[in-house]
Amino acid sequence: MDNLNVQFHVSVLTVPSFVSADQFPQWLRREALAIQELSEDNSLTILRLFLAARIKEAWGRKKLDVLLQAITDKYPHIFRVEMVVIDNQLNIDEKELIQSEAEKELAQILETVKQFQELKIAKSKLH
């Protein structure tokens, strides 16, 4: 089995307080486009969207699911969108901490995949 030739990244987005519920889909599409345009050919991004409760309430879960799915459908470098509802906007320190923790979590996942691949290769050599 070949090693994965893909680089994974995590991008943390928080909806600014000046973005209204009506402006939210356009804002999200612009942010997603920027991530897509900055992506390298062999990269995939997990987008962690910290969404203000006021926007979630205005949109509802079903409409949000459709919007988030449309983002992953339209932008091939965005692997998935994870949504976390928050009451207050995050400050820069909180964003940096979340980004750091996300990168550590991603590194652990990739290490697990690597170990699984190595185990599978070792087992195939025994047969």
pLDDT of residue 15: 87
Mean pLDDT for the stretch of residues 48-62: 90
- Decide if 1 is inside a domain: no
Task: Work out the end-to-end distance of the chain between its first and last CA atoms, rounded to an integer number of angstroms.
Answer: 15
pLDDT higher than 90, residue 22: yes
Rounded to an integer, what distance in angstroms lies between the CA atom of residue 20 and that of residue 3? 44
pLDDT of residue 70: 96
pTM of the model: 0.71
The residue range of the domain holding 43 is 7-126
- Decide if 2 is inside a domain: no
- Decide if 30 is inside a domain: yes
- Decide if 100 is inside a domain: yes
- Decide if 63 is inside a domain: yes
- Decide if 12 is inside a domain: yes
Number of structural domains the chain divides into: 1
pLDDT of residue 32: 96
pLDDT interval class at 40 (50, 70, 90):
confident
- Decide if 81 is inside a domain: yes
Is 102 or 74 the better-scoring residue by pLDDT?
74
Mean pLDDT for the stretch of residues 98-106: 73
